[in-house]
Structure 1
Amino acid sequence: MGTDQIRRWESGALAHAVTDPFGQGPLPWLRDSENYFDDTGRVVPWYVDDVHLSGADPRAAERTGARGPARIPGPRTADDVHRQIKGFPSTSAAAPGEAIDFRITVDPPQQFSVDIYRIGYYDATGALKITTSPRLSGIVQPPPLTADRTVSCHHWWLSWRMQIPSYWKPGAYVAVLTTLDGYRSHIPFTVRDSRPADLLLVLPDLTWQAYNLYPEDGRTGASLYHAWDERGKLLGESEAATTVSFDRPYAGAGLPLHVGHAYDFIRWAERYGYDLAYAEMRDLHAGSVDPTRYRGLVFPGHDEYWSAPMRHTVEAARDSGTSLVFLSANTMYWQVELAPSPSGPARLLTCRKRRGPGRSALWRETAPEQQLIGIQYAGRVPEPSPLIVRNAGHWLWEATDAEEGDELPGLVAGEADRYFPRTALPDHLRRILLAHSPYEDTERVTRHQETSLYRAPSGALVFASGTFAWSPALDRPGHTDERIQKATANLLDRICKRG
């Protein structure tokens, strides 16, 4: 393998994952195979067909060796160099009764199929197959268009239009694309619903797209963090894109960075029967959902990029009595703008960061994120460290067996938030810090992480975990923590008025 080819795969998803197990995107069991290892070392399938839930034994085929029609053994992950199969949706969030257009390239041209899975808790399996497309004819779509490092595939031809039936449950879905010769890629999308529910789960689609380096080919791709020069050298943030497009696939296997955080929460929450509706951040930007209809908004994963309308919508929800639950860190750090592309509204995401004239894109330099969240971004955590329990007598820690000063191993990871004493706090009736955890930063300087909870004058609760590792502790194999599971249940039960 030549140097240039190696360099391509040291970029994008891998560049953000190799030193940060909680910042990675597609988990190994999502990205490389249909199986993952659970906490006991058993192989557990990620995909499950509905026949498995009706009494069929999913291990039978494995024992007998039966695999159905002849095919190349095992799926192979498509890549961005050969583009065996890649695609993206016309919209990543739609309601039952609406349609999603999929634009897909297949090289070499051949037939392919699309399996639709819903993420959730299905007999301890991570997703359920809902339907399969007809056999479709694949074509090689034109190369991506580029302008000032912005990559777009809005000119690709329509491959398949999927009408969402009225009976589909709202949720996070994945379209699994598979070619006749066994290559596979993914397209995530959301089925939203306007029905009343206790909690609205808001997926961080802007942050997913900000990190997307498609095409990860050593020549063309660019994100808000990286781009390549003409020699195939991976450039840093100062030379990356300032605008990225939603009109393109996600790099690599087709699932975004950090997507596992949301899936961890969904599986756990559905296992315990929480009443969830689903939306994306662009729904808050566009006013497609009314967050004041819900008792709480849950932000389950890394959610770094916010527009001004998003923030105003969330602040108005809090001030009307809707609680907010932030289960990650580095939330609402960059201020962004959304603009239309030829394919529709809010398809271009712009963040000027520290380049060019005009107002800084850092929220904290104009309206610090702490004024909404209660804490704000402190920095990266190069090695996982313990989360140190504080105020153990508080109801959040009730029945967790956590004592004052207890260490929860590995729960400060990826990135961390803390309280900044010189930054104004939001208006509040009560406020408390529930963890205070030292860790060493990349310069070996001791910093600290904090977990925050405050009650707004409206009565809304606003919780911020202050660490990337909170959602994985709910349901990620090898990372679960019963104390975090119970503390999260205490919080959501109070918001949903269960107890």
Structure 2
Amino acid sequence: MNIRREGLSGKLFRLFTLLFFTLLFWNWFISMPSAAGVSNERLAGKDRFEVAVNVSLKGWKDGADTVIVANYDTFADALAASPLAYQQDGPILLTQANILTAVTKQEINRLNPNKVIIVGGPASISDKVMSEIKTLVPKVERIGGKDRFEVALNISKRLENKKQAIVANGLKFPDALTIAPYAAQKGIPILLTLENRIPDSTLIALKETETTIVVGGEGSIHPSVYNQLKGKQRIGGKDRFEVASNIIRALEINPDRSYISTGLTFADALTGSVLAAKNGLPMLLTMPNKIPDSTRDIIIEKDINSFIVLGGKASVQDTVANLLTPVVNSHSIEGYSDKISFYPGETIQLKVHTPKKLFSVGFVRHGKEDKTYYQSGNISGTPQDYFADSYREGAHWKTNFSYKIPASWPSGMFSAKLSDGNNDYHITFIVKDNTPQKNDIAVLSSTNTWQAYNSWGGKSLYTSEVLNGVRQYNEVVSLARPNLEAGPIGAVGHLAKGEKHILKWLEKNNYNYNIFTDYDFNNNPSLINSYKTVIISTHSEYWSTAMYNGLKNYLNRGGNLLYLSGNGVYWKVALKGNQIEAKKDGGYHTFTSEKGGNFYKIGMPETSMIGVGYRSTGFSVSAPYKVMNNTHWIFSNTGIKNGDLIGRTGLNTVNGTNGGASGWETDQVDQFTPKNYVLLARGINLIGKGADMIYYDHSGGGGVFSTGSITFGGSLAVDAQLSKIVSNVLKRFGH
């Protein structure tokens, strides 16, 4: 029991202090962000002094016998203080170097300690401040040293565990702070080093050590330092956020709750680390305005479902604090792959959510027939939750199943068919050929459009709201999430289902092709240069500048193009990592600083290359084309006459109509179409405008055939006349 005598003035001061902190605590409490169904807290304050005080209020509401005081700004001396504070069962408070901060003074009085330990020499906390603290507390002592390394040594002397040590870079603070809760709980001293040299003070502290945990990658602690240590284990990562996550993994911590602090400033994590240790919880780091990927990964992996946020809204914004707790996934079986395309020999990783304990996987190729190439059952499954912004940041699920794609698998559209016995789900992906032949046809799969229409996680690129009379669209989506829209099963569709019709036609007519994705093309625009002919398939709406320039260069080099698509090369996007960004308001991309919007509105008309373009002519019912120029070689051996209707039926149903090669969304020529184009046929659509089917010889030496319709592939699959027309084009192009 801590009993001290005090006079009337002391009692009045203590009453004033109690009232002050009651108001401070209430202001903190009502400022906490709320999230439905979760118990997240925020320990905030207008500055780091108040944050430290609120941490103290939370963890030591009945007072403390010992208090640690450190400098609020140059707190390197205090990096090693958490284990000592935990051992003494006291909070860490912060002060200025030459002035005892008012809220800190008041909190010392509220805590009513017998002892204050000042961490750091007089340059960190002056003798003047020490003297003022002595007027409040019976015993005040200083743990100092000539530098932070010696301070850490002197702190370690106060700890009982001499056989273990944690070593962190003394000039890079986050690693020491994120390991601090674990170190404190275990009574392990935190010792500091330089990147390439162990200071003498630390060498002294390490003399009795038998095992060492090194925190930080080789950029923080060089192998030359690491190799000098006894019984060593390194916990590293590509950055401070991943290091914090890997601490939880490596030390096999399995919390359902965690503290979290900004990874850009460190005072909040310092003072909060002791409370985290007191509660047996780890420390994670975040950006102020975004949850880093590595932090998301560990939250999902360890099923951490509630948090104590350290710091005010400038340190961790409410938008971040409210996103920390994942959404409980109530869906049936679903999943996604780590990439959208693979070469044979690469390993596909499937990330599967299933409420059931077991599921099966079958790999199916979708060509002229749906053929299963591999089947596996009795795979362990688990539910996997997701964040409320997973539509743009990805689901961050664990891998449940991996498979190395055999060298014998041909290029094509595949899907991983997931089944739990009651429900099936297809994850569509592409297998590419890494040894293309010049005579092969390259097929561009419109995977950017697949994701644009994907609303899994809450939003697609079509999700919008009206603010101040202006419609604003969601601007970013992620590839790393389930995509039911891209399922390949069924005939009717404008994404993978629609593209499957063209692939099936190619295989039935014995054309060799290699398929790849928008993502591949964006990352390697010269990829298509290995092929005589490129086919743009079905609904290739979302293109990047790299793709646009890649196609332009390909045509200038003499390449041939079949544009069997509608509404293509329409919205300009930027790709970064697993994200796609579209600025439909015409603003500038945050990923690239380029202007966004429609290509034709920013001086890059798609019609100058593919000959036709979509100009919002309406979501039209499908219809046949009317032939305009039957003497063109494209109609050779078809028996088609001018005025004939071709492509009367098809597999795509649009607005209740059954098929028709011109439909869904349709493209027309404009003033930028090359002047030597030939109008072959035009859709007779009753709503909007019909698609223009054209051909022109490109100045680069190749040819361009464009159909300008999303539903063309669905008719090509069943219409003999269209089949002969496309065969004539491919024959002209050397196939």
Superposition misfits of 4+ residues, deviation over 4 angstroms = 252-257, 355-358
Question: 1:48 — aligned with what?
Answer: none
TM superposition shift of 1:381: 4.2
Match of 1:103 in 2: 351
Secondary structure of the 2:540 match is coil
Match of 1:19 in 2: none
Q: Which residue does 2:561 correspond to in 1? A: 324
Query: Is 1:136 aligned to 2:379, yes or no?
Result: yes
Aligned to 1:187: 427
Partners of 1:86 and 1:254 within 8 A in 2:
no
Q: CA deviation at 1:414?
A: 0.5
Could you say which structure has the greater relative contact order, defined with CA pairs below 8 angstroms and 6 or more residues apart? 1
Q: Is the 8 A contact 1:211 1:257 kept in 2?
A: no
The CA distance in 2 between the partners of 1:451 and 1:278, in whole Å, is 24
CA change 1:288–1:99 in 2 (3 A) is farther
- 1:140 and 1:252, CA in 2 relative to 1: closer, same or farther beyond 3 A? farther
User: Comparing both structures, which one devotes a greater share of its residues to strand?
Assistant: 1
Alpha-carbon deviation of 1:441?
A: 2.9
Q: Which runs of 5+ in 1 are unaligned?
A: 1-79, 216-220, 230-235, 341-346
TM-fit CA distance, 1:228? 9.1
Query: Is the 8 Å Cα contact of residues 450 and 485 (structure 2) preserved in structure 1?
Result: no
Using the alignment, how far apart are the partners of 1:289 and 1:129 within structure 2?
A: 32
2:541 to 304, 315, 320: 304
Compared CA separation, residues 289 and 404, structure 1 to 2 (3 A): same
Show the 5 A alignment for 1:120-131: 120-121=367-368, 126-131=369-374
1:405 aligns with 2:647: no
Give a deviation string over 1:64-104, Cα, whole Å, max 9, x none: xxxxxxxxxxxxxxxx9842111001111110111111111
Matched, 1:159 2:436: no
Cα 1:211–1:330 shift into 2, 3 Å? same
Read off the aligned partner of 2:359 and give its amino acid letter: F
**Helix, strand or coil: the match of 2:450?**
helix
Q: Indicate whether 1:353 and 2:584 are aligned.
A: yes
Report if aligned partners of 1:171, 1:277 keep a CA contact under 8 Å in 2.
Answer: yes
Name the structure 1 match of 2:712.
Answer: 470
Per-residue CA distance 1:138-169 (angstroms, 9 max, x = gap): 0011223417x63520x211111111111111
Residue type matched to 1:392 in 2? N
**Residue 696 of structure 2 aligns with which residue?**
454
Q: Which residue pairs with 1:89 in the alignment?
A: 337
Q: In structure 1, what is the Cα distance between the partners aligned to 2:362 and 2:423?
A: 13
1:399-445 deviation digits (Å, cap 9, x = unpaired): 2221101122322210111111xx3234x7x4211113343336xxx
Of residues 414, 417, 427, the one that matches 2:664 is 414
* Alpha-carbon shift at residue 190 of structure 1 (Å): 0.7
Structure 2: how far apart are the matches of 1:239 and 1:184?
35
Contact 1:320 1:458 (C-alpha < 8 Å) held by counterparts: yes
The residue number in structure 1 matching 2:519 is 282
Q: Percent identity?
A: 26
Structure 1 residue 253, shift from structure 2 partner: 8.2
Question: What is the CA–CA distance in structure 2 between the aligned matches of 1:431 and 1:288, rounded to whole Å?
Answer: 26
User: Which position in structure 1 is the counterpart of 2:442?
Assistant: 200
- Paired position in structure 2 for 1:30: none
- Give the number of the structure whose residues are more often helix, by fraction: 2
Instruction: Give 1:389 deviation, angstroms.
Output: 0.7
Counterpart code for 1:171? G
Which whole-Å CA distance do the structure 2 matches of 1:254 and 1:301 have between them? 15
Aligned length: 381
Please say if 1:433 is aligned against 2:669: no
* Partners of 2:566 and 2:667 within 8 A in 1: yes
Q: CA deviation at 1:264?
A: 0.2
- Give the one of 605, 613, 622 matched to 1:384: 622
AA matched with 1:461: G
Partner Cα separation in structure 1 for residue 640 and residue 537 of structure 2: 23
Q: Is 1:117 aligned to residue 355 of structure 2?
A: no
Instruction: For residue 183 of structure 1, report the CA deviation from its aligned partner.
Output: 1.0
State the SS of the aligned residue for 1:201: strand
Deviation at 1:357, TM superposition (A): 5.9
Q: 1:257 to 1:467 in 2, by over 3 A?
A: closer
User: How many Å separate the matches in 2 of 1:193 and 1:385?
Assistant: 36
Question: In 2, Cα distance between the equivalents of 1:364 and 1:394?
Answer: 29
Q: Does 1:481 align with 2:704?
A: no
Give secondary structure in 2 for the equivalent of 1:297. strand
* Farther off after superposition, 253-262 or 191-200: 253-262
Report the Cα distance in structure 2 between the residues aligned to 1:381 and 1:324, rounded to whole angstroms: 25
Distance in 2 (CA, whole Å) between partners of 1:381 and 1:403 is 29
Distance change (3 Å), C-alpha of 1:185 and 1:448: closer
What does residue 218 of structure 2 align with? none
Deviations 1:191-238 (A, max 9, x none): 1013214201110100110011114xxxxx110112699xxxxxx993
Q: CA deviation at 1:284?
A: 1.0
1:283-342 Cα shifts (integer Å, max 9, x gaps)? 1111176211111001121000000001111111111111011101111000000012xx
Q: Secondary structure at the match of 1:376?
A: coil
Question: CA–CA distance in 2 between the matches of 1:159 and 1:89?
Answer: 10
Return the alpha-carbon distance in structure 2 between the equivalents of residues 302 and 458 of structure 1.
Answer: 25
Q: Contact (CA 8 Å) 1:381, 1:412: kept in 2 or not?
A: no
Q: CA deviation at 1:350?
A: 0.3
- Tell me, in whole angstroms, the C-alpha distance in 1 between the residues paired with 2:696 and 2:485: 40
What CA RMSD, in Å, does the superposition of the two structures yield over aligned residues? 2.4
Contact 2:531 2:559 in 1 (8 A): yes
* Aligned equivalents of 1:184, 1:171: Cα separation in 2: 21
Residue 598 of structure 2 is aligned with which of 336, 348, 362?
A: 362
Q: Secondary structure at the match of 1:261?
A: helix
CA separation of 1:158/1:288 partners in 2, compared to 1, >3 Å: closer, same or farther? farther
Matched, 1:492 2:733: no
- Structure 2 alignment gaps of length 5 or more: 1-327, 590-594, 649-659
- Aligned partner of residue 371 in structure 1, secondary structure: helix
